[in-house]
Structure 1
Amino acid sequence: MANTQGYAAQSATSPLEHFAFDRRQPRPDDVSIEILYCGVCHSDLHFARNDWGNGTWPVVPGHEIIGRVTAVGPEVSKFKEGQIVGVGCMVDSCEHCSACESGLEQYCLEGMTPTYGGPDRVDGTITQGGYSTQVVVKERFVVNVPDSLDFTTSAPVLCAGITTYSPLKHYGVKEGHKVGVIGMGGLGHMGVKLALAMGAEVTLFTRSENKIEEAKRHGVHHVVVSTDDSQMESYAGYFDYLLDTVPVQHDLNPYLQLLKFDGIHILVGLIEPIEPPLNAANLVTSRKVVAGSLIGGMPETQEVLDFCAEHNIGCDVEVITIDQINEAWERMQKGDVKYRFVIDMKKSFPDVA
């Protein structure tokens, strides 16, 4: 797929700039996709800025992709030209390990191939993401976007949505369960919407009192200001699950005291050491669990899109064009977005056929 237009970071310190490059040639099991919209995830910034120490450059970020199929390989059976589809955080895996055979490709024992910044399993070229006009992806890692979904608000479902849906589904959240959602950013507000749709009683934990009314507009049953000790203590032993979306180090111990026995504290935002350390007594004395969860496998990714279509769920977004991306990243770092930027790729590159 020659003459792909996009925006890339050329180093860990450079701004995103226009970048023309060639996609790999489609293989028999590939789907070629014209990108219509791409969500902007904080992970894009972390990777490009080498915050995790695994950066590659140039890098075209973006792993919340909605697009239109332009061609399919001869071995493709699930998709056809003109269909609206999605691509999330991964584009390949070994496909034969126990995780992959269970539809949990994100836990591939050989390591899944990320949508950007990873070596292609066939030719070794580095994958490039959705801040671009087109992409080619193996059929297994493409999902159908239901017709009833708004394409802009559904793009972030491919990361923020599946990241919160997968653990809620895996641990069996259902009507009557009491779920606390810690943090209300891109992940947190999707966690709130999905848990409510599953029938749970939902409480939002926030450090900011100005989030109280906003959270209630999203339908939460309760809001707890986590810096208020008396509010925290009033919910001791109350929750079946806590969905923790905070991406920076924070003290888990006060939250563990809010769980019932057998309660589960699920980390989906933090990918660094837990600090301060856990007091094991909070776990041992009540058989509580601290768990983690990474995005979701391909069957679950299709499932969450279908679930969102059924329950009319979308991410709250601000639509931008690609020339606004550096400003958007600056605003994202300041928390100045509710709750996801989404790039309109057709408006960004109007001259690209």
Structure 2
Amino acid sequence: MATTKSYAAHSATTPLEPWTFERRNLKPTDVQMDILFCGVCHSDLHYARNEWGMTTYPIVPGHEIVGKITAVGSAVTKHKVGDYAGIGCLVDSCRQCDNCKQDQEQYCTNGFVGTYGGMEKDGSGPTHGGYSKNILCHEDFVLHISDKLDLAATAPLLCAGITTYSPLRHWKVGPGMKVGILGLGGLGHMGVKFAVSMGAEVTMLSHTPGKKADAERLGAHKFVLTSDSEQVKSVGGYFDFILDTVSAQHDYNMYLSMLRTNGVMVCVGVPPAPIPVHSMSLIFGRHTLAGSLIGGIAETQEMLDFCAEHNIVSDIEMIRMDQINEAYERLLTGDVRYRFVIDMDSL
């Protein structure tokens, strides 16, 4: 076992602080990597503060990980020492259920193993994430990173990227489709980039007037200020597809009214409380309200390859490891454009 430096939360009410722990030994099918960059996801904050009621302490967050491979097990065939690689939200799954067999490990019916806050399938201990110097996991859950991509700006693709790419791919967004992206944050800005690259007409839906210039810079063709009733009325029955990235309370019914017949609205944001949906919002227009969770490993690799082909990365603000608590407070107010990334050399 190897001693590893990290930043960890030890309770829901105390700041993250330096912590040293033991990583397990390298298994024959494992890849070990030194972490170069780690994105900061809002889920990290939720887990650190036990806002979802499932945290076991201490916990080392971080599941948007990019690094360099330093060791491989004797049975590893997919990766080699010296490669740049990534690890996202998953480090294992049962491999046996129908979903896993269809490359949908994120929906493993026996429970996937999260990069942090999970438990190793062999019972060897809890998983700890990317706010640390190094990490190891089974080679099947390690992703190839193209040398065409900026490594730091690639890190958020491992969660924010795949979270938005997967539903756009699943519902076959492409040329001729009118797509609305609701919310311009860490997820929304990736949704705009992907939908534009897929050939759709893209409209940013935001209640913040100041987001218009950024939406246009990111490639959005139109902007609708959702606090303006006339602008909202102008897109009634307009969209084939809406990607809802908002995690604050908002009116689903208003956005469902913007869908064309057979239109689909997919939620990837997680509001803090249930939101009422009137059946009429679905029945009239045969609308679909759906959800989507990250993506499987094969699809995540597909997304990374798509990004390399289309030169897509996240817009980031680099921080030091010792700035993480300040970054969490800024996350709560939306004060980041559009993803914090930790330079792990600073740990």
For the residues of structure 2 that align with 1:285 and 1:212, how far apart are their CA atoms?
A: 31
**1:22-37 matched pairs, under 5 angstroms:** 22-37=22-37
Work out whether 1:331 is the aligned partner of 2:330.
Answer: yes
**1:177-216 matched pairs, under 5 angstroms:** 177-216=177-216
Residue by residue over 1:101-142, the C-alpha shift from the partner in whole angstroms, topping out at 9 and shown as x without a partner, is 000000000011100011111124111000000001111111
**1:132-147 matched pairs, under 5 angstroms:** 132-147=132-147
Residue by residue over 1:68-98, the C-alpha shift from the partner in whole angstroms, topping out at 9 and shown as x without a partner, is 1111111211100000000000100001100
Which runs of 5 or more residues in structure 1 are unaligned?
A: none
Q: In structure 1, what is the equivalent of residue 12 of structure 2?
A: 12
Q: In structure 1, what is the equivalent of residue 103 of structure 2?
A: 103
Deviation at 1:272? 5.3
Deviation at 1:236? 0.9
Q: In structure 2, what is the equivalent of residue 280 of structure 1?
A: 279
Q: In structure 1, what is the equivalent of residue 2 of structure 2?
A: 2
For the residues of structure 2 that align with 1:211 and 1:239, how far apart are their CA atoms?
A: 20
For the residues of structure 2 that align with 1:156 and 1:48, how far apart are their CA atoms?
A: 18
**1:101-180 matched pairs, under 5 angstroms:** 101-180=101-180
2:118 alignment partner, SS class: coil
For the residues of structure 1 that align with 2:210 and 2:249, how far apart are their CA atoms?
A: 22
Residue by residue over 1:175-215, the C-alpha shift from the partner in whole angstroms, topping out at 9 and shown as x without a partner, is 11110000000000000000000001000011111111111
Q: In structure 1, what is the equivalent of residue 237 of structure 2?
A: 237
Deviation at 1:248? 2.3
For the residues of structure 1 that align with 2:209 and 2:273, how far apart are their CA atoms?
A: 28
For the residues of structure 2 that align with 1:274 and 1:163, how far apart are their CA atoms?
A: 21
Q: In structure 2, what is the equivalent of residue 84 of structure 1?
A: 84
For the residues of structure 1 that align with 2:300 and 2:28, how far apart are their CA atoms?
A: 23
Deviation at 1:250? 1.4
Q: In structure 2, what is the equivalent of residue 318 of structure 1?
A: 317
Work out whether 1:222 is the aligned partner of 2:222.
Answer: yes
1:186 alignment partner, SS class: coil
1:169 alignment partner, SS class: helix
Contact 2:183 2:204 in 1 (8 A): yes
Contact 1:237 1:261 in 2 (8 A): yes
TM-score, with length taken from structure 1: 0.97
For the residues of structure 2 that align with 1:261 and 1:252, how far apart are their CA atoms?
A: 16
Amino acid at match of 1:299: A
For the residues of structure 2 that align with 1:121 and 1:249, how far apart are their CA atoms?
A: 36
Contact 2:192 2:202 in 1 (8 A): yes
Greater shift after overlay, 292-301 or 322-331?
322-331
For the residues of structure 1 that align with 2:336 and 2:272, how far apart are their CA atoms?
A: 24
Greater shift after overlay, 115-124 or 128-137?
115-124
Which runs of 5 or more residues in structure 2 are unaligned?
A: none
TM-score, with length taken from structure 2: 0.98
Contact 2:246 2:271 in 1 (8 A): no
Work out whether 1:297 is the aligned partner of 2:303.
Answer: no
Amino acid at match of 2:295: G
For the residues of structure 1 that align with 2:46 and 2:83, how far apart are their CA atoms?
A: 32
1:99 alignment partner, SS class: helix
Contact 1:250 1:274 in 2 (8 A): no
Alignment length (residue pairs): 347
Contact 2:236 2:258 in 1 (8 A): yes
Work out whether 1:252 is the aligned partner of 2:245.
Answer: no
Q: In structure 2, what is the equivalent of residue 343 of structure 1?
A: 342
Deviation at 1:273? 4.8
State the Cα RMSD in Å. Answer: 1.0
Residue by residue over 1:254-307, the C-alpha shift from the partner in whole angstroms, topping out at 9 and shown as x without a partner, is 1111101110000001265532x1111121121110000000000010011111
For the residues of structure 2 that align with 1:110 and 1:164, how far apart are their CA atoms?
A: 24
2:187 alignment partner, SS class: helix
Greater shift after overlay, 81-90 or 279-288?
279-288
For the residues of structure 1 that align with 2:263 and 2:253, how far apart are their CA atoms?
A: 13
